[in-house]
């Protein structure tokens, strides 16, 4: 009994020491991952975060095709189930041609977008340019975040550089290291302070592509300052409601009534993610109304300083170079295939590991299945 009490006392002391240390955010990380049976962030971890609710204003259900049905090959099904897929929707010619869910996931279930949110933030910045809140993508970042310190002798990056991952922030993207700034951005309670503590200057602005979540968070801070309202509110009015979201969504915040984690963490349904894909597939138009400028989307879905990454969107390598995507950790995907007027949305727990550079085995499985549909 005495030994148990000593162990408990030591654990309490360690907990308090961690809580009041610079790494107190790790407590949320442990609760949000290990206490839920995971080893890292997962698609249902929103309950561990403050969130801002995004209500439904203009639900527009996606129609289900009565004439075309897509079926997964046995090989594809085995692989995507091995990768613990939770939801899969395929839309062609603006109608659902395949829709499946696994375990407790349902059509209205919210799951974490992870880095698919980066594409959303880029689209919102473009909308803010169209609305006149932001003058230009080529505005210097300090025009909107004047307190962001640019090291002496370093050329100041622009909003465009933060969208294209060419701002050269002095950070290494690391999701596994608990003491990294990436982990603190996710689990910490002051995402503005953390992001602004990371200077630029690792590479000359606009010259080198390096994927860094902190770059999108800087862009998120600039956007929130420019529009003068929460990112969630602006996103709902200018994007989600216009796209016809059917289910309530939320966005992770760093603290109660705080700032959205713009580099990740929209929580929405698979069907509503498909609506974002449909918007991009249709060149930013909904029912004849331009929501996101088509010329911008054409530029955004083409490589900037990397053939694989444009303005917030990933471009697949050959022979699928005409296909691009919103992509998130653990294999969250909104795949846009303009040639075949198709959207493929997948949410789940594993990506299957990499198959080529930054792309994963889940993606090659889906792309191969799409090829078979088109060639048969």
Task: Please check whether residues 241 and 350 belong to one and the same domain.
Answer: yes
Tens digit of pLDDT for each residue in 193-237? 999 999 999 999 999 999 999 999 999 999 999 999 999 999 999
Nearest to 200 by CA among 145, 162, 147, 143: 162
- Is residue 157 situated within a structural domain? no
Task: Please check whether residues 238 and 327 belong to one and the same domain.
Answer: yes
Report the CATH number at residue 243: 3.40.710.10
- Is residue 225 situated within a structural domain? no
- Is residue 223 situated within a structural domain? no
Task: Please check whether residues 21 and 73 belong to one and the same domain.
Answer: no
- Is residue 217 situated within a structural domain? no
Task: Please check whether residues 278 and 363 belong to one and the same domain.
Answer: yes
Q: What is the pTM of this model?
A: 0.93
Task: Please check whether residues 247 and 284 belong to one and the same domain.
Answer: yes
pLDDT at position 27 is 74
Task: Please check whether residues 132 and 7 belong to one and the same domain.
Answer: no
pLDDT at position 150 is 97
Task: Please check whether residues 344 and 266 belong to one and the same domain.
Answer: yes
* Structural domain count of the chain: 2
CA–CA separation, 157 and 171 (whole Å)? 15
pLDDT at position 126 is 98
- Is residue 349 situated within a structural domain? yes
- Is residue 148 situated within a structural domain? no
Handedness of CA 146, 149, 155, 156 (dihedral sign): negative
CA–CA separation, 94 and 63 (whole Å)? 8
pLDDT at position 336 is 98
Task: Please check whether residues 11 and 55 belong to one and the same domain.
Answer: no
Rounded mean pLDDT for each run of 10 residues along the chain, 376 residues in total: 48 45 65 70 95 97 96 98 98 98 97 98 98 98 98 97 98 78 92 97 97 98 98 98 98 98 98 98 95 98 97 96 97 98 98 83 97 94
Backbone angles phi, psi at 241, to 5 degrees: -65, -40
Tens digit of pLDDT for each residue in 332-359? 999 999 999 999 999 999 999 887 778 9
Task: Please check whether residues 86 and 132 belong to one and the same domain.
Answer: yes
Task: Please check whether residues 253 and 349 belong to one and the same domain.
Answer: yes
- Is residue 188 situated within a structural domain? no
Give residue 327's domain range. Answer: 48-136+230-375
Task: Please check whether residues 237 and 130 belong to one and the same domain.
Answer: yes
Instruction: Count CA within 13 A, CB hemisphere, residue 8.
Output: 5
**Kind of pairing, strands 51-54 and 249-252?**
antiparallel
Task: Please check whether residues 253 and 310 belong to one and the same domain.
Answer: yes
Do 316 and 303 form a contact (C-beta atoms < 8 A)? no
- Is residue 144 situated within a structural domain? no
> DSSP assignment of 159-171, as one string?
HHHHHTT-S-BS-
| Tokens encoding 241 | 């409601």
Q: How far is CA 369 from CA 83, 363, 373, in A?
A: 15, 10, 6
């Amino acid at each position: 009994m005495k030994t148990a009490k000593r162990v408990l006392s030591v654990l309490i002391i360690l907990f308090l020491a961690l809580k009041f240390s610079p790494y107190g955010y790790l407590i949320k990380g442990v609760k949000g991952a290990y206490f839920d049976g995971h080893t890292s962030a997962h698609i249902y971890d929103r309950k561990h975060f403050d969130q801002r609710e995004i209500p439904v204003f203009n639900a527009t259900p996606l129609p289900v095709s009565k004439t075309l049905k897509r079926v997964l090959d046995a090989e594809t099904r085995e692989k995507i189930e091995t990768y613990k897929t939770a939801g899969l929707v395929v839309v062609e010619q603006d109608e659902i041609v395949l829709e499946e869910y696994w375990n407790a996931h349902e059509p209205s279930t919210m799951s974490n977008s992870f880095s698919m949110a980066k594409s959303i933030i880029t689209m919102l910045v473009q909308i803010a340019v169209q609305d006149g809140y932001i003058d230009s993508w080529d505005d210097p970042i300090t025009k909107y975040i004047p307190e962001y310190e640019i090291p002496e002798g370093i050329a100041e990056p622009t909003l465009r550089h933060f969208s294209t991952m060419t701002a050269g922030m002095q950070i290494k993207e690391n999701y596994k290291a608990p003491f990294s700034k990436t982990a603190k951005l996710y689990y910490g309670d002051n995402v503005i302070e953390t992001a602004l503590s990371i200077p630029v200057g690792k590479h000359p602005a606009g010259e080198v592509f390096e994927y860094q979540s902190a770059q999108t968070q800087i862009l998120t801070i600039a956007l929130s300052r420019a529009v003068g309202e929460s990112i969630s509110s602006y996103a709902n009015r200018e994007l989600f409601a216009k796209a016809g979201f059917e289910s309530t969504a939320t966005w992770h915040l760093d603290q109660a009534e705080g700032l959205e984690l713009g580099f990740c963490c929209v929580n929405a349904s698979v069907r509503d993610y498909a609506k974002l894909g449909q918007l991009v597939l249709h060149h930013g138009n909904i029912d004849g109304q331009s929501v996101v400028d088509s010329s911008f989307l054409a530029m955004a879905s083409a490589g900037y300083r990397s053939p694989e990454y444009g303005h917030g969107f990933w471009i697949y390598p050959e022979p699928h170079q005409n296909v691009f995507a919103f992509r998130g950790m653990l294999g969250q995907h909104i795949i846009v295939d303009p040639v075949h007027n198709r959207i493929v949305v997948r949410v789940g727990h594993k990506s299957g590991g990499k198959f080529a550079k930054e792309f994963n085995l889940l993606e090659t499985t889906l792309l191969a299945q799409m090829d078979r549909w088109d060639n048969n």
